[in-house]
Chain A
Amino acid sequence: MGASTDGSIATLRVGMIGAGGIARVHMEAWRALGVSVEVYSTDGGEALAAEYGITHVATLEDLLDRVDLVDIVTPSSTHRRVALAAINAGRHVICEKPLAATSADAIEITRAARRAGVQVYPAHVVRYFPEYEALKASIDTGVIGDPAVLRFTRAGEAPRADSWFFDEADGGGLVLDQMIHDLDQARWLAGEVGTVYAVQNPATVDGRVAPIVTAHVILTHVSGAISYVQGFWGPPGLTFRTSVDVAGSGGLLGYESPDDGAVRVDVPFAAAEGDYLPGTRHADDPYARELRDFAEALAGGPTPRVGLEDGILAVALAEAAQASIVSGRPVAFDADSVIAKLGEAAK
């Protein structure tokens, strides 16, 4: 194994599995970290390899033979199968969010990882965006007192039409794919959740999500805090925007992208383009910071700020929200009983 135990990641060999939208973002991040990557994908892998001048490996087995860890950026429904293959081969795993298409799959991945003694990290990158990181630090140091009312919004152009993103049975859907970022944020910032209520418009019909869709999720945290998470997959060209506002017993903090004042471009005739992914105006790219945090942990560094149980609970919250959307009623949520399934299943 190439990973050292002193936290140095330069000798790490990464195998990327998948070649879709987020693959290029991760590829740029690995490149920025100076880590060598090889890729395997059943779709677009060779093009991605050519684009980055790296090796495309013919089979998953070959890839697993050649690397220390895999970076799974495949469609969500395949996370379980690919992650289990990597884990069974003794490879560490970084897995794009959601950790899996279902919490049951996420639990199975976690059990397997613990049994095999390998590390698996779900890529909840919003925890590495400096604004959200600063908000977490402010809350933890008591700047705004006890969190009381939290708001999260996330809007961007919808994914490619007719893709798996619109198929809820195939790991897609607005709640599980997009809003899971902020469901994780809500847990991170205000603690465990006791009740989940959600509405969506238009409704998902026969598992198929409408091409333009919005949803609202209301969380009641165990602490008594309440959160409002809003998601929107909009028309092509829609500016990607996120916002967060946290009101606490001692103050109020918030942020909205991309109006951070850092850069304003006003160039007539420049092509207007929407974004599927958030832009970032930090030299230290949040994706690179995330991947470095994971990679350093694999090389003996400190425990990352997001772990498998976070990944499981984020999926479980998304499932609860989807169940509430269908039933029209709030859904009781108990993080302990979700995590307890890890132990039960292992027996």
Chain B
Amino acid sequence: MKTRIAILSFAHTHALSYARILADRPDVETIATDPEGAAAADFGPRGAELARALRIPYVNSYDEAFAWGPDAVIVTAENSRHRELVERAASAGADILCEKPLATTLEDARAMLAAVERARVGLMLAYPVRFSATFAEARDRVRAGELGQIIGIRGTNNGKVPLADRAWFTDQELAGGGALVDHVVHCADLIDDLLNAQASTVYAVANRILHSDRGIDVETGGLVTLRYPSGVVATIDCSWSYPDAASTWGGLTLQLIGTHGTITIAPFAQHLAGYDARGAVFTPVGDDIDASMIDAFLSDRHHGRALRPDGAVGYRTLQIVDAARRSVVSGMPVQVC
């Protein structure tokens, strides 16, 4: 029997990647709905038109999507709308793959985790970098003790400003902030997995110099420094620092500094490089980590295994974002919890 999956909203562009992957899988039946799509001020198609292009059957409302009786849902709505959809999916008994960040506020996130726990459904956070071979290698090397003791970490998650494709990313209310909300959590999740610990204090600085001519009223550049109880120090650069003219969307790097040396990974680095008539060409050739993540989601729920990355790490990484936002306002390091 095929697993029935409903994609809830095309607000996040990652929904397109997930839809393409699901459309190619013989073991799932997928539908999509994007009720807010028609009203969104986005460049490019949304709603039924986009679903058609993705070869996914479309329904007009969340009501219809839930009436269809999905086994699982993928929540790719605007960040602030995750809560209502996750709560609704939990009530409907559907397992959930929720786009990152879990929510825009800790209050929403707590309500979501409670709803999931009450309904005994599974919740997985869409942190695909966890599934990359580069991160797996780094984690294996760390666990084998090659680095000695980790003492410091540097993460970078930089990209273009997600403005043309989806305007809500730069809407304080819908996104919960700018680059700090969009790009801290991936690195924070990898660090969480490596250290198996939550940061104790967060110091963050941010500015709006990048893309300052675009009328954006959220932070476009940011640096977040974390201290862990073990003494480990980590800094994440979350800036939307790639210009529109760049030949790639951006990337993520993670450097682990240990007493024996360093390991640095760049999960999106593998590519063909060259030039065409308009300039530099960057053709990614890395593994499809979204596909690996979705495969883990489907296979773990099929076998009744716990879904990972789970809601708890979604919450811990949101705590870091929340602390970073508070630190930017106060100018001081703040406690995470």
Contacts and interface: CB of A to CB of B under 8 A. Distances in A.
B211 interface: yes
B57 interface: no
A199 B257 CA distance: 14
A215 interface: yes
11 contacts: A148-B221, A149-B209, A149-B241, A203-B231, A225-B207, A248-B209, A250-B243, A252-B241, A328-B333, A330-B331, A330-B332
A142 to B, nearest CB: 14
Interface string B114-158: 000000000000000000000000000000000010011010101
Contact of B233 (A149, A153, A214, A329): A214
Interface stretch (A58-66, A71-79, A228-236): A228-236
A232 B257 contact: yes
A151 B225 CA distance: 13
Interface of A: 146-149, 151, 153, 155, 195, 197, 199-203, 212-216, 218, 220, 224-226, 228, 230, 232, 234-235, 238, 247-252, 328-330
Most buried by A among B205, B220, B241, B242: B205
In this complex, the member of A201, A213, A232 whose beta carbon has the largest number of chain B beta carbons within 10 angstroms is A201
A212 B207 contact: no
A235 B242 CA distance: 34
Interface of A: prevailing SS: strand
A328 B158 CA distance: 27
Given A153-B154, A201-B231, 5 more contacts: A149-B209, A151-B156, A201-B232, A252-B243, A330-B332
Interface of B: 148, 151-152, 154, 156, 158, 201, 203, 205-207, 209-213, 220-223, 225, 227, 231-235, 237, 239, 241-243, 245-246, 257, 259-262, 331-333
B246 A197 contact: no
Given A199-B227, A329-B333, A249 B261 contact: no
B148 to A, nearest CB: 8
A225 B206 CA distance: 9
A248 B158 CA distance: 13
B225, B232, B332: which has the most chain A beta carbons within 10 Å? B225
A225 B158 CA distance: 16
B223 A149 contact: yes
Contacts of B203: 197, 199, 218, 330
A202 B220 contact: no
B23 to A, nearest CB: 35
A148 B154 contact: no
Top 8 A-B residue pairs of the complex, sorted by shortest distance between their CB atoms: A247-B241, A148-B209, A214-B152, A149-B221, A199-B233, A149-B239, A148-B210, A226-B205
B209 A213 contact: no
A247 B179 CA distance: 14
Nearest to A246: B241
B223 A201 contact: no
Nearest to B259: A212
Given A212-B151, A216-B233, A226-B223, A148 B207 contact: yes
A149 B260 CA distance: 30
